[in-house]
Amino acid sequence: MAFQKAVKGTILVGGGALATVLGLSQFAHYRRKQMNLAYVKAADCISEPVNREPPSREAQLLTLQNTSEFDILVIGGGATGSGCALDAVTRGLKTALVERDDFSSGTSSRSTKLIHGGVRYLQKAIMKLDIEQYRMVKEALHERANLLEIAPHLSAPLPIMLPVYKWWQLPYYWVGIKLYDLVAGSNCLKSSYVLSKSRALEHFPMLQKDKLVGAIVYYDGQHNDARMNLAIALTAARYGAATANYMEVVSLLKKTDPQTGKVRVSGARCKDVLTGQEFDVRAKCVINATGPFTDSVRKMDDKDASAICQPSAGVHIVMPGYYSPESMGLLDPATSDGRVIFFLPWQKMTIAGTTDTPTDITHHPIPSEEDINFILNEV
């Protein structure tokens, strides 16, 4: 198959969380290079699921153990890994997917629940004349529209208020938000608009009344990332992919290609975290979709490989629902240290949090008291 010929003997790095651990402009350039590498025609596409109900985990483990060789082995059951598995299996490729914890247990369930192009990234693109940032925003806005169309049960437009405390900032922010609408083009959800001080206080009475001059409201999408991830993984299983959670990759398998004489990756040694049982899963191609843990898998292949990821963390706290209206969020771009804070309704509660703080990689990250107090003091 053309897809196998394009990637045979390679490790493809796929990024669920990689967008947050690489610099974003570098990430956009990196993904384009990957797409150029692996662009091929679809093989015999499968139009109907093989299984009406996803097989049990025990049945999936038997498939993993008893299959002599898969076409594709995906490591990581986040949004990117599950998406790779679904794409591969519906192209007619024999596909396996393993996840160390549960599907969507990492980055793919710990977002701000927004699908957005990134207003602040557009600001950086304009201020620094960064074409990569602009392209990333444009592509993200296109994908926002796509996600709202294909998963309306998990996605919805959400108005977000940007409070303004100085008169000169009103036209400045208004022009920026209108440019955001303009970049979205036909994918613009709804046109942004200006709110008076009194109307803004009706939505968020806790705003500082004495300094507030008004507000600007723009639209982005809100999305249930964990449910979407799980739906994709289950769909891949229904189409015939051998998918198993709590399966940890402990090492990569290698063999010498008889045609070229080069040593290449040929699968992975997997460990069932629940029972401790280990077995080999062989594959013509291995896809590394482990997000912030990308480098640890790459070093299994080459212990001298240089790191390509700079992990960043976003901390969110959950507050009672009465801190925000049910149908509008709040964006504060002027915190004491320059970070952005979102204040969003989510499942009858309120999520408040920041993004993009450099951090070390940990298996189960937890917020520090300092982070929690920062958010509480800011809001």
What does the pLDDT average to over 50-75? 92
Mean pLDDT, the chain, integer: 85
Range(s) for CATH 3.30.9.10 in the chain? 156-222+312-378
11 close to 84: Cβ distance less than 8 angstroms: no
What does the pLDDT average to over 3-9? 41
Residue closest to 243 by CA, chosen among 47, 103, 51: 103
- Architecture label for domain 57-109+226-301: 3-Layer(bba) Sandwich (3.50)
What does the pLDDT average to over 204-232? 92
Say how far apart CA 324 and CA 204 lie, in whole Å.
7
293 close to 277: Cβ distance less than 8 angstroms: no
If phi over 0 gives left and psi between -120 and 50 gives alpha, with beta otherwise, what is residue 268? Answer: beta
Range(s) for CATH 3.50.50.60 in the chain? 57-109+226-301
Give percent above pLDDT 90 in the chain.
53
What does the pLDDT average to over 28-50? 54
Alpha helices by DSSP H, the chain: 2-7, 18-21, 24-38, 57-66, 79-89, 119-127, 131-150, 169-184, 197-203, 225-238, 294-301, 369-378
| pTM higher than 0.95 | no
Pick the residue with more confidence: 360 or 267? 267
What does the pLDDT average to over 32-51? 57
Q: What is the pLDDT of residue 345?
A: 93
Q: What is the pLDDT of residue 12?
A: 54
Q: What is the pLDDT of residue 266?
A: 94
Q: What is the pLDDT of residue 1?
A: 37
**271-295 per-position pLDDT tens digit:** 999 999 999 999 999 999 999 899 9
Q: What are φ and ψ of residue 40, in 5° steps?
A: -145, 165
Worst-scoring range by mean pLDDT, 91-95, 137-141, 358-362? Answer: 358-362
Residue closest to 11 by CA, chosen among 254, 260, 281, 240: 254
Pick the residue with more confidence: 98 or 118? 98
CATH of 156-222+312-378 among 2.40.340.10, 3.40.718.10, 3.40.50.1950, 3.30.9.10? 3.30.9.10
